[in-house]
Amino acid sequence: MMKKLALMQLIVCCLSLAAFGQDDKLSALAVVDRLFEGMKAKNSEQIMSVFATDAQLVAINKRCDGKGPSTTRIFTGDAFAKMTAGAKGGDFIEKMHSPTVWSSGDLAIVTGRYTFHVGDKFSHCGTNTFNLVRTDSGWKIANGASTLECECGRDLKAVDVPVVAADPRDVATLDGIIKAFYETITGPKGAPRQWGRDRTLYIPDIHFVSMGEKDGKIRASIADHQRYVDATNEGFVKDGFTEHEINRVVRRYGNVAQVFSTYEFSNDAGTDKGRGINSIELFWDGTRWWIAYAGWDEERAGNPIPKEFLPKGGHK
């Protein structure tokens, strides 16, 4: 009984994190964006406006040679604003490519990888974590911590994933969310993909599992949303990519659903095409559907799609 109770408490916690309001999410993120705008303008008043009273920031400098511990510097919000406003040289340009936002009551957390440029010159990368509190005048940054790192190749190649509100048409029904699941990645050569819209379909810590086979051995590739975007965006845009559903098998109980969605895919030239099955786990939170997991395997020699997952007659 105690194990069941603990599990239910964990589930409720996780659902509340996944389902907190889009308005709160966008408002909290907007505060961090105003901080970055103030830093670029070197405007001390704008920078100070995003901080709560007695706010602190921690900078964790990782040694580029990898030897020895990191060094730590601590700033008050006021000191950070004055230091930034008085800095010489080019604009300070900081960007978080795919921030994640959580909330619990009057606490919000904005975290993610970032890159930092001074004018046109790249400086460093790292991870930001900002803790925000809700006040009478809106969200304010109570404290934050940032790593300053030198190994930044992956971060410099990261694709920007804008944070946008979910479209109710995408998440109100199973049909809507499966339709959006395919539409966001589909498009002709040269067309940007709808990664911001795509991100709204999933819980914050979504992971994708792509199954494959090489040299007779089964392999699983696991990626979070940003890594999936970074790995696929260039090819999708360069060669065009279309994926569409040809059959669906749904099993639902209460507020959880398992969808086996059979698909066909092709690039614009038709040189890369095939079929497979997406296995999609979803839940309904009382307001909208969320995708909690997505995995897929492609049809190949020795791995045909079973008849029960194909349209009647085997073709659409």
Average pLDDT, the chain: 91
Percent of the chain residues topping a pLDDT of 90: 82
pLDDT at 2 over 60: no
Give the separation between CA 120 and CA 142, rounded to whole angstroms: 30
How is residue 140 written in tokens?
Answer: 């304010």
Rounded to whole angstroms, how far apart are CA atoms 75 and 215? 54
Residue 250 in this model has a pLDDT that exceeds 70: yes
pLDDT of the residue at 313: 62
Q: Does the domain spanning 2-156 belong to CATH 3.10.450.50?
A: yes
Q: How confident is the model at residue 130 (pLDDT cuts 50, 70, 90)?
A: very high
Question: In this structure, which amino acid lies at residue 37?
Answer: E
Q: In sequence order, what are the residues at sequence separation of 6 or more whose Cβ sits closer than 8 angstroms to the Cβ of residue 131?
A: 107, 108, 109, 141, 142, 143, 144
Question: Domain locations in the chain?
Answer: 2-156, 168-309
pLDDT at residue 232 greater than cutoff 80: yes
- Average pLDDT rounded to a whole number, residues 264-275: 97
Among 121, 119, 112, 122, residue whose Cα is nearest residue 151: 122
* pLDDT recorded at residue 22: 65
Residue 166 has pLDDT above 90, yes or no: yes
Question: For 46-81, what is each residue's pLDDT tens digit?
Answer: 999 999 999 999 999 999 888 889 999 999 999 999
179 three-class SS? helix
CA distance 19 to 289: 10
What is the CATH architecture of 168-309? Roll (3.10)
- Average pLDDT value for residue range 6-10: 42
| Closest to 20 measured CA to CA, from 99, 96, 100, 98 | 100
Q: How confident is the model over 84-129, as pLDDT tens digits?
A: 999 999 999 999 988 988 888 899 999 999 999 999 999 999 999 9
- Longest C-alpha distance within the chain, in Å? 72
Could you give the C-alpha distances from 286 to 174, 191, 218, 289, in angstroms and in order? 13, 35, 38, 8
Please determine whether the domains at 2-156 and 168-309 fall in the same fold group of CATH.
yes
